[in-house]
Amino acid sequence: MSQLCPCGSGQSLDQCCGPHIEGASWPQNAESLMRSRYSAYVLGRHQWLVETTHPDYRENVDADKLAEQTRDITWLRLDIAATENDVPAGEHGELFDVVEFYAYYELEGIPRQLGERSFFQRKDDKIYYVDGVALRPDAYRRQEPKVGRNDPCPCGSGKKYKKCCGASKS
């Protein structure tokens, strides 16, 4: 049985991003290109990231630098939040396809999240990555109401929180 594709599509690598990364085919849309780029990060295939960057924006993209920058990262999963086609942007109102995604990873044992609104553009009938804008992570939302210092302690002791479980441990 072949390995599942790291992009999270549920398909095998051979049926999903593998042929793109190996150069056998080119992704047909921005989302599949985004998925293949994520898979390339996971698999350490950094040259694919260079090749899929729009030729007009490729000058500062280097496979060795990308490998060095991501060496200690363990990629966990990719979530595609939204996709849009033909979005006007840029100085001259060019049209871009847009993919918003969140990539989850671990660095130095700490789980982290990268969110980006990525812009893609066609050139010579191929779709390429142009640039991205960082997205702020979702704010933390409590599942239960916050316990105030003068509220009854949630442990059920009958004491105020500040005199029970909330007492400072100095």
**What is the pLDDT, as a whole number, of residue 137?**
65
Check residues 141 and 3 and name the one with the higher pLDDT. Answer: 3
Give the CA dihedral 20, 21, 22, 23, nearest 10 degrees: 50
Hey, is 48 helix, strand or coil?
helix
Note the helical H segments in 11-62: 18-21, 30-43, 46-51
Segments making up each domain of the chain, as ranges: 11-132, 142-169
CATH class of 11-132: alpha beta
Whether residue 169 is predicted with pLDDT greater than 60 in this model: the reply is no
pLDDT digits (tens, 9 = 90+) for 50-93: 999 999 999 999 999 999 999 999 999 999 999 999 988 777 77
